[in-house]
Amino acid sequence: MPNNILMPALSPTMEKGNLAKWLKKEGDTVKSGDVIAEIETDKATMEVEAVDEGTIAKILVPEGTQDVAVNAIIAVLATDGEDVKATGAGAGADKPKAAAEAPKEAPKAAAAPAAAAAPAAAEKAPAPAVAPAPAKPAAPASNGARVFASPLAKRLAKDAGIELGRIDGSGPHGRVIAADVEKAKTGGGLKAPAAAPATAAAAAPGASDQQIRALFKPDSYEAVPHDNMRKVIAQRLTAADRDIPQYYLTADCDVGKLVAAREEINALAPKDKDGKPAYKLSVNDFVIKALALALQRVPDANVSWTDEAMLHHKVSDVSVAVSVPSGLITPIIRNAHIKSVAQISADMKDLAARAKARKLKPDEYQGGSTAVSNLGMFGMKQFTAVINPPQASILAVGVSEERAVVRNGKLDIATIMTVTLTCDHRAMDGALGAQLLGAFKLLIENPVMMVV
């Protein structure tokens, strides 16, 4: 009996993914454990291993297919003794709808006449024996004029959120047909939008894609579809801003001692046979360590909120925001409170490299007690960051720079770093958040305390 190869769930929250690449082709023999495909999720590209042995009889979902539902059949494996050709031929009838929510591709130019003829043929009907019912009026245009369109074109335009009155019809007497709507989806064949009232200078909140596009000339922009990562980032941050009552605490930290200690430690780092230092610590490595220790000193802030209970974490797992070409990912430094700064530095370099290559495992970026977002390397003095649930806090770190300060009634120069802690008010009140930030400030200003 043939075995179905299913779209795997690579994380507990995964519902669909992209089938990036097939590493085996039809007719290839596979053994249990062989890597057969690469699956792309919103965060990483992961390899899929074969569970059973046999021959790939039929690939049902071609590589490059997006939004393949978890547990959808992506290929069929003929087991030992089975006719591969017969198995492959029978598998075609069971081909799943890999991307149920994905829109159909617009018909190619060569196929446009056929697409146009189909709805026209469907509209022809034999003359009825009795008087026909009055025909439905044509859909009105936005300026009040009637628009003649096929039923299929009307439905497609409604689903796409496009006004029929803006579509140039190519059918008889200017009738709008399905091919015209498909062309309009890509910005082609669209008439200029009717003049909006003077008070409507911008799209209203929650405006549709087409309503926003209507504010611009069709040839004045390029529409680049969102990838999965950008969609998930938008969904999570929108939910966080809507569902989490967030407040912000800011502190200026004198990091003069830290900068001096870092330079001395890096200068004394042992060299390998090629003369390269064993480690090169960054300010961010110390920030991660200080925040992890601060959570241990203020354990009531090391929590996650749920509707049923407060989760008190025993360890400090610190997520660190890493910019990647298609968005942002937050790999986690596990048990950061018991690791040396050098080990944190090594872990961070490894995780950041694999994050940019989309090779992280789900458990390397899911969870975490808190997070660090550092834009100091871009010269940002101060900013606020949005909490990434289920975490209850995130620390935004600005640039370390020399500033004028007053010490003992005298003007002095100090290296100051401004940090802003965003807190979930459900999980910690202002006083508790202030204790956490105070513990961090004490540690970052006195780095020797991180080794005690």
Tokens at residue 255, please?
């990091």
Q: Which fold has domain 3-94?
A: OB fold (Dihydrolipoamide Acetyltransferase, E2P) (2.40.50)
Tokens at residue 396, please?
């935004």
Residue with tokens 């579509």: 167
Q: What local confidence, expressed as pLDDT, does residue 382 receive?
A: 96
Q: Where are the domains of the chain?
A: 3-94, 138-193+203-225, 231-451
What are the distances in angstroms from CA 401 to CA 295, 398, 416? 26, 9, 6
Q: What local confidence, expressed as pLDDT, does residue 43 receive?
A: 66
For domain 138-193+203-225, the question of CATH label 4.10.320.10 is answered with yes
Q: In this structure, are residues 441 and 434 in contact, taking their beta carbons and an 8 Å threshold?
A: no
The dihedral formed by the CA atoms of 62, 67, 70 and 71, expressed in degrees to the nearest 10:
-40
What letter represents residue 91's amino acid? A
Distance CA 253, CA 407 (A): 14
Q: In this structure, are residues 138 and 168 in contact, taking their beta carbons and an 8 Å threshold?
A: no
> Which regions of the chain are under pLDDT 70?
1, 12-13, 42-43, 81, 84-85, 87-146, 187-189, 191-206
Q: 246: Cβ–Cβ under 8 A, 6 or more apart, which residues?
A: 240, 386, 387, 422, 423, 424, 425
Domain 138-193+203-225 matches domain 231-451 at the CATH topology level: no
Q: What local confidence, expressed as pLDDT, does residue 448 receive?
A: 93
Helix (H, G, I), strand (E, B), or coil: what is residue 74? strand
Q: Which fold has domain 231-451?
A: Chloramphenicol Acetyltransferase (3.30.559)
Distance CA 413, CA 410 (A): 10
Q: Which residues pair with 319 in a beta bridge?
A: 332, 371
Per-residue model confidence as pLDDT tens digits over 49-84:
888 888 888 898 998 888 888 888 998 888 776 776
Active site positions, annotated: 425
User: pTM above the 0.75 mark?
Assistant: no
Tokens at residue 360, please?
């992280």
